[in-house]
Amino acid sequence: THFGFRTVDENAKEDLVKGVFSSVAPKYDLMNDAMSMGIHRLWKDDFVSLLNPGRRGPIKILDMAGGTGDIALRMLDHAREKYADRDTSVLVSDINPDMLKEGMRRVRQTMYHNTPQIGFQVANAQELDPEIFPDNSFDLYTIAFGIRNCTSIPDVIKEAHRVLKPGGTFACLEFGKIDNPLLSQLYDVYSFSVIPMLGSILASDRESYQYLVESIRRFPSQPVFAQMIRDAGFTTGQDFSGQGGAWRDLWGGIASVHLGVKA
Ligand code: SAM
C-alpha cells in the first residue's frame, strides 16, 4: 500500500503459500517428478546450461525460493564437471524452513556437504535483510518456479536488483503462457484434472496442488513479466547467445526463462 502497510490479503496469501509448501515438502521432489512426468528436470537442466556457471570463473549465486536445492546442486555440478570449478558457491534461500530442511538433507549426501560451496538461509524474497544480503553482493540471482508464489513480484525483482553486483544477472525459470491453442487445451485438461488428482492420490493433498495450478494461471504472460523486469532497472534482450529476445520459451511456452542484466 502507499503507507507501507501490508494488506490482510497479502498476509493471508503468504500464510497459504507457507502451508502449501510445508505440507508438500517431504514429498516435493517425488511429486514434481510425477506431475511433470520428469519434464521439470529437463527444464532445469536447460536453465543451468543456458546460465553456464563456471564459464567466466567462479561466481557467487543466490538461488531464491530454492526449496530443496534442485537448482543449486545442478549449478555446482555444472561448474565442477564442465570447468573444474570448485569455488562457485550458492546460497539457497527460501521462506519455508521445511523446504530448506529437505534441501540440507539432500546436500548431506553430496560432496558439497560441509563445504563453503553451499549455504542455506530462510528469507522472504520480497524483503531481504541487508545484513545477510548486502547490496551488490551476488553475480547471479536465480529463481525457479518460485516467483509466482510471491505476493509482490515487483518487490522480489527490486530486491534481486539491489543484491546483484553491477553486471550481475537475474534469471527466472517459471511457467508461462502457451501460444499454440491445441497445446494450450491439452495443457488445461492436464493441469486442471490430472494434477489435482495426482496430488490427492500421491500426497493426499488435493488443495495444495489445486493452488499450484491456479498460481500458474494467474502469473503474467511473458511480455508483461519481461516489462516488470525492465521496470526494476534491468536490461533484457542481449542474452541467449546472440539470439536476442527478453525470454526464451521452453516447450511452446509451458515454461520460460527470463534474463535481465543489472547495468
Ligand atoms: N526452486 C525450487 C525448484 O525449482 O524445485 C523450488 C520451487 S517451489 C515450486 C516454490 C518455492 O518458493 C517453495 O519452496 C516456497 O517455499 C518458496 N517461496 C514462496 N514464497 C516465497 C517468498 N516470498 N520468498 C522466498 N521463497 C518463497
- Interface pTM, i.e. ipTM: 0.99
DSSP E strands, 118-254: 118-122, 138-144, 164-175, 234-235, 247-250
CA distance 110 to 91: 16
* Continuous segment of H or E residues that includes residue 61: strand 60-64
- pLDDT bin (cut points 50, 70, 90) of residue 126 is very high
Q: Which domain holds residue 115?
A: 8-178+220-262
Measured CA distances, 252 to 92, 133, 184, 221, 248 (Å): 29, 35, 9, 13, 10
- pLDDT bin (cut points 50, 70, 90) of residue 193 is confident
Q: Is residue 183 part of a domain?
A: no
Q: Is residue 111 part of a domain?
A: yes
Ligand 1 lined by 90 (C-beta under 6 Å) = no
Q: Is residue 197 part of a domain?
A: no
Tell me, in angstroms, the distance from the centre of ligand 1 to residue 97's CA. 11
What pLDDT does 3 receive? Answer: 41
Q: Is residue 193 part of a domain?
A: no
- pLDDT bin (cut points 50, 70, 90) of residue 240 is low
Q: Is residue 214 part of a domain?
A: no
Q: Is residue 61 part of a domain?
A: yes
- Per-residue burial over 207-220, b = 16 or more CB atoms within 10 Å of its CB, e = otherwise: ebbbbbbebbeebe
Ligand 1 lined by 142 (C-beta under 6 Å) = no
Paired sense of beta strands 247-250 and 164-175, if any? unpaired
Ligand 1 lined by 208 (C-beta under 6 Å) = no
Q: What is the CATH number of the domain that holds 73?
A: 3.40.50.150
Average pLDDT over residues 28-39: 81
Q: Is residue 118 part of a domain?
A: yes
Q: Is 180 annotated as a binding residue?
A: no
Most ligand 1 atoms within 8 A of CB, residue of 74, 94, 102 to mutate: 94
Tell me, in angstroms, the distance from the centre of ligand 1 to residue 254's CA. 18
The grid cell for 102 is 529437505
Share of the chain above pLDDT 70, in %: 94
Alpha carbon nearest to ligand 1 atom 5, residue: 70
Q: Is 235 annotated as a binding residue?
A: no
Backbone angle region of 218, left / alpha / beta, with phi > 0 → left and psi within -120 to 50 → alpha: alpha
Number of structural domains the chain divides into: 1
Q: Is residue 205 part of a domain?
A: no
Most ligand 1 atoms within 8 A of CB, residue of 21, 122, 126, 219 to mutate: 21
